[in-house]
Structure 1
Amino acid sequence: MPTVQQIEAKLFEFAPPDLKMDWDNVGLLVGEPDRLVEKVLVALDITWEVAEEASRIGAQLIVAHHPLINCKWLPVQTVRSDTPQGALLIALLKGDISAICMHTNLDAASGGVNDALAAALRVNDPGPLTREGIGRVGTLSEPVPLRRFVAEVSRCLHCNGLRYADGGRSVHRVAVGGGACGDFVDQAVAAGCDTFVTSDLSYHDFLDARPKGINLIDAGHFPTEQVVCPVIIDTLKQAFPELEIVLSASHGEVIQYYV
């Protein structure tokens, strides 16, 4: 059986740590490097439900996308049982469950989040959207009306719902950005895209879509990044066929829509 450290090394071969953003925190974040692993749970986030699921199925390791400590949205200063983040970390440590997180390095990696998103939406010949390798730009096999493409995005990504703004163009040259890539709308415009699929867009992003001449589709953070979990599983299965690898059944889209 491989160790936690050997699994981390294999994941770093696929998504090298030097691809991560400066503020990010990736790799083995919780646990013992020399711990032998028989079962791995793969999830987009490490939540209470995911930690309980790992304990219930006897997984020694969770591999996730979003970091659970020392990231810009949850900087760790203390590990206390009376805080949500501290209690989760303590539960993982008490349960002897290690955690490896592959975040912006997996966004930028060839075959990672954004290539998986482009493949799910049938975007052909995807190339990088930004200098850092975040996002992808490619083309559909043929132009399609926006409403038809919106329906296809929702179906392919299993969205509970999505938000979009009509930029006044049919869909052919498409940019994708898994997760919160609203900062890259102008890059998508500069790349000649008529459509950008991402998540966490602001009111002003949608307001400016038509003046900029680009269709914006906010398909949700979870749906646009969950596409990478099967990629992680396939990568680990090929490297460690003796491992039992399970996709989390407890973690799903947390945002509900009422229309």
Structure 2
Amino acid sequence: MATVMDVYRFLDEKAPFNTQMSFDNAGFLVGRGDKEVRTILVALDITGAVVEEAAQVGAELIVSHHPVIFIPARHVTDQDSAGRKLLALLEHNIAAICAHTNLDIAPGGVNDALAQALGLEQIGPFSEDGLGRTGVISGAPSAEAFAAQVKERLGANGVRFVDGGRPVRKVAVGGGACGDMVSTAVACGCDTFVTSDVKYHEFQDAEALGLNLIDAGHYPTENVVCPVLADWLQKGFPGLRVYLSYRHHEVFSYC
């Protein structure tokens, strides 16, 4: 039977934790390494609802993208949401492994999954550190038409975009908050950039540079990696039950 540390070492081979960015806190964050694992729940985030779901399906381990501990914890009590999540994990004896920026840059990770979900071809690197991907799309749709395709393919509740005045041919993608890489997208010869959490001035910069910029939301641009994680784990540990969270979803809606 596999242990929590067996799963950690497996994921470390797929997306080495030592490649995470300096600000990050990816890794084995909660639990006992020698605990036997029969069931794993995969989710983008570890929320209170996800912990409840893990307990209901009998999972000994949650594997998530976003770290359940990111800002250093000064206390763990039931007086705030962060403390309640950690208490729930401990009380249910559920471990947590979180693969964050190391999974963003890993081959087959977040950005490859995003590029594939958007139907890009000739997928290649976007930056020297591996954060993001580029690819081409056929048909040369308008920025508005491609934004609608992005919304549909990612199952997003809505998208924000600025039309840079060029048809969509070469696309850069950056799962999560990569709006500060607008100039990198232009330098790569891209006419379009799909990311999330774009700031007002970043939309202005993109328009001035003639770049179509599409903000498809943090959850939709990164949740595409969860089926990838589940598939890796199921193939790596065929004797385990691996579930994708059905309770975790986009946190906000558009009216």
TM-score where L is the length of structure 1? 0.96
Post-superposition offset of 1:211: 0.9
Tell me the distance in 2 between the aligned counterparts of 1:46 and 1:143: 39
Alpha-carbon contact 1:125-1:139 (below 8 Å) kept: yes
Report whether the alignment pairs 1:64 with 2:64.
Answer: yes
Tell me the distance in 2 between the aligned counterparts of 1:21 and 1:128: 17
Residues 154-203 of structure 1 deviation map (CA, whole Å, 9 limit, x = unaligned): 11100111100001110001000000011111100111110000000011
Could you tell me which runs of 5 or more consecutive residues in structure 1 were left unpaired when the two chains were aligned. Answer: none
Tell me the distance in 2 between the aligned counterparts of 1:76 and 1:254: 23
The letter for the 1-side match of 2:170 is R
Alpha-carbon contact 2:48-2:84 (below 8 Å) kept: no
Q: 2:22 maps to what in 1?
A: 22
Aligned-residue identity in percent = 54
Task: Please list, as runs of the form range in 1=range in 2, the aligned pairs for 1:153-168 lying within 5 A after superposition.
Answer: 153-168=150-165
Q: 1:3 maps to what in 2?
A: 3
Tell me the distance in 2 between the aligned counterparts of 1:153 and 1:165: 14
The 3-state SS of whatever aligns with 2:140 is strand
More deviation, 197-206/75-84: 75-84
The letter for the 1-side match of 2:192 is T
Q: 1:182 maps to what in 2?
A: 179
Residues 187-224 of structure 1 deviation map (CA, whole Å, 9 limit, x = unaligned): 00111110000000011111222211100000000000
Q: 1:130 maps to what in 2?
A: 127
Tell me the distance in 2 between the aligned counterparts of 1:240 and 1:57: 18
Q: 1:78 maps to what in 2?
A: 75
Post-superposition offset of 1:106: 0.1
Could you tell me which runs of 5 or more consecutive residues in structure 2 were left unpaired when the two chains were aligned. Answer: none
Alpha-carbon contact 2:180-2:202 (below 8 Å) kept: no
Of residues 239, 251, 256, the one that matches 2:253 is: 256
RMSD across aligned C-alpha pairs, in angstroms?
1.0
TM-score where L is the length of structure 2? 0.98
Post-superposition offset of 1:142: 3.7
Tell me the distance in 1 between the aligned counterparts of 2:160 and 2:72: 30
Q: 1:218 maps to what in 2?
A: 215
List structure 1 segments (4+ residues) > 6 angstroms apart after TM superposition: none
More deviation, 10-19/191-200: 10-19
